[in-house]
Amino acid sequence: MTDTDVPPGAGPTQTPSADAAAPNAPPRTRDPLEARGVNDDAVAAFRREHPDRLAEVVVVIPAYNEGASVAGVVSSVPARLAGMPVDVLVVDDGSADDTGARAREAGALVATLRANTGQGNAFKVAYRVACAGGARYVATADADGQFDPKELDAMVAMLADDRADFVTGSRRLGVAHTDDSVRALGVVVFGTLISILTGVRVTDPANGLRAMRAEVAATVELRQMQYQSSELLIGAIANGFRVLEAPVTMRKRHVGASKKGGNLVYGWRFTKVVLSTWWRLRAVARRNLPARQGLW
């Protein structure tokens, strides 16, 4: 589940969506008030199961019906990043398959949502758990295996060296293995749009690898239930945090299918999130940023 998934194709060999209707599938909600109760239950259950303090670095992985890939991703997260111990936290977003069990078997701590709420909300829960558990740094990875968590080492090091407060990966600065020219063009267009609006150069606005100080995760208000990557990025900039990009490699997805829909739907929804978040945070940005930066 990722903002960077290659959208499903139309050919007959396309893998069926993992979130297709299933008779025993958990309920689905996109209502923030309803999700709040789901979140509280998940956080309380996690703290009962894991009362001890978490590691200095917590790598969070939201996952929905990613049983075929999540164990491999969890296993690929280094035991230490920038020399600091790591805990892997998977948020199982109401999966109908064995995502949670596979993540636990691979060594992850798992917070389970009893309903499917969307990737944005799953990240919100992950950040809440990580910050409450005493994490110093929070990093993110996707459960589909398109990004290599080992590349988080350099990103966390940028935080530890006090060069940035928020570091996001960039496939344009690194390498992107994709056959989807439309999605690749979208990365350029949306990166340019966010750069103009915020006054901070952004080349990849929807990357699955990020690293941030826990203060960023605790400060930025997330409202989006699904498309959260641009909301988090714009929110970090508006709150005055130092934002940098790091080159990463994006691989083709070999297991499962995107949960984001086709290019037109994805592009329209992503545009709405970018513009609405920028508009909502104008007053915040004017308090925290130099005059004449961007179009705040």
Q: Give the DSSP H or E segment for 113.
A: strand 109-113
Q: Confidence band (pLDDT; 50, 70, 90) for 6?
A: very low
* 50: in domain: yes
Q: Confidence band (pLDDT; 50, 70, 90) for 7?
A: very low
66 phi and psi angles, rounded to 5 deg = -115, 35
Q: Confidence band (pLDDT; 50, 70, 90) for 252?
A: confident
Q: Which range among 36-45, 160-169, 261-270 shows the weakest confidence by mean pLDDT?
A: 261-270
By percentage, how much of the chain surpasses pLDDT 90? 79
The predicted-structure confidence for 203-240, as pLDDT tens digits, reads as follows 999 999 999 999 999 999 999 988 899 999 999 999 99
Angle between helix 181-198 and 229-238 (nearest 10): 20
- Asked if residue 137 has pLDDT above 80, the reply is yes
Dist CA 117 CA 94 (whole Å): 7
* 130: in domain: yes
Average pLDDT over residues 158-178: 96
- Asked if residue 255 has pLDDT above 50, the reply is yes
65, exposed or middle or buried, with CB in 10 Å at 0-12, 13-18, 19+? buried
* 19: in domain: no
* 26: in domain: no
* 188: in domain: yes
Which residue(s) pair with 246 in the sheet? 169
By percentage, how much of the chain surpasses pLDDT 70? 89
- Asked if residue 19 has pLDDT above 80, the reply is no
Contact 113, 125 (CB under 8 A): yes
What pLDDT is attached to residue 262? 78
* 279: in domain: yes
* 6: in domain: no
What pLDDT is attached to residue 85? 98
Dist CA 43 CA 46 (whole Å): 5
What one-character DSSP code corresponds to residue 27?
P
What pLDDT is attached to residue 258? 56
CATH number of residue 100's parent domain: 3.90.550.10
Dist CA 146 CA 256 (whole Å): 11
The predicted-structure confidence for 28-83, as pLDDT tens digits, reads as follows 887 787 889 999 999 999 999 999 999 999 999 999 999 999 999 999 999 999 99
* 7: in domain: no
Domain that holds residue 270: 32-288
What pLDDT is attached to residue 5? 40
What pLDDT is attached to residue 180? 82
Dist CA 48 CA 169 (whole Å): 34
Angle between helix 181-198 and 263-280 (nearest 10): 10
Provide the token pair at 118: 């969307």
Domain count, the chain: 1
- Asked if residue 16 has pLDDT above 60, the reply is no
| Residues whose CB falls within 8 Å of the CB of residue 129, separated by 6 or more in sequence, listed in order | 43, 46, 47, 54, 89, 91, 111
The predicted-structure confidence for 96-125, as pLDDT tens digits, reads as follows 999 999 999 999 999 999 999 999 999 999
Mean pLDDT across the chain: 90
Tell which residue, 44, 25, 24, has the closest CA to residue 36: 44
Q: How far is Cα of residue 15 from the mean position of the Cα atoms in its chain?
A: 23
- Asked if residue 190 has pLDDT above 90, the reply is yes
